[in-house]
């Protein structure tokens, strides 16, 4: 089946630094990818829709300048958390659409100290 990978699987960074998370579709091309955030014991919340070759569409309340999304190719979307703060600590998951279904990456756990 379709496979979506994420890198890194976990990262610890200091407050004020930036962190980049990669999302790759390994065996299919994805013109659209989605980025979600999940806080402990909560469900997934859509942050933004990443469109290949164009600007991402952000959900209400998500800061565009803080969560930079780049979908430079049909198999890669990146999420950069800029000037990270402890409140940005969360589980970030990406997904891609194929054959009318969503395929999710394994997630990246970000801890900001």
Partner 1 sequence: KQEVTQIPAALSVPEGENLVLNCSFTDSAIYNLQWFRQDPGKGLTSLLLIQSSQREQTSGRLNASLDKSSGRSTLYIAASQPGDSATYLCAIYTNAGKSTFGDGTTLTVKP
Residues contributing to the site for partner 1 (CB under 8 A)? 6, 32, 34, 42-46, 49, 91, 93, 95, 100-107, 109
Structure tokens at 39: 């806080």
Q: Which is nearer to partner 1, 41 or 83 (CB)?
A: 41
Closest separation between CB of residue 44 and partner 1, Å? 5
Q: Which is nearer to partner 1, 25 or 95 (CB)?
A: 95
CA 76, 109, 70 angle in degrees (round to 5)? Answer: 25
CB 102 within 8 A of CB 93: no
Q: Which is nearer to partner 1, 87 or 99 (CB)?
A: 99
Structure tokens at 94: 């990406």
């Amino acid at each position: 089946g379709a496979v979506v990978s994420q890198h890194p699987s976990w990262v610890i960074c200091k407050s004020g630094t930036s962190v980049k998370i990669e999302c790759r579709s390994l065996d299919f091309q994805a013109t659209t990818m989605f980025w979600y955030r999940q806080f402990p014991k909560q469900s997934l919340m859509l942050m933004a829709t990443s469109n290949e070759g164009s600007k991402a569409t952000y959900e209400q309340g998500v800061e565009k300048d803080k969560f930079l999304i780049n979908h430079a190719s049909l198999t890669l979307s990146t999420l950069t958390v800029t000037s990270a703060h402890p409140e940005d600590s969360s589980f970030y998951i990406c997904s891609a659409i194929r054959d009318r279904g969503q395929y999710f990456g394994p997630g990246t756990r970000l801890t900001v100290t």
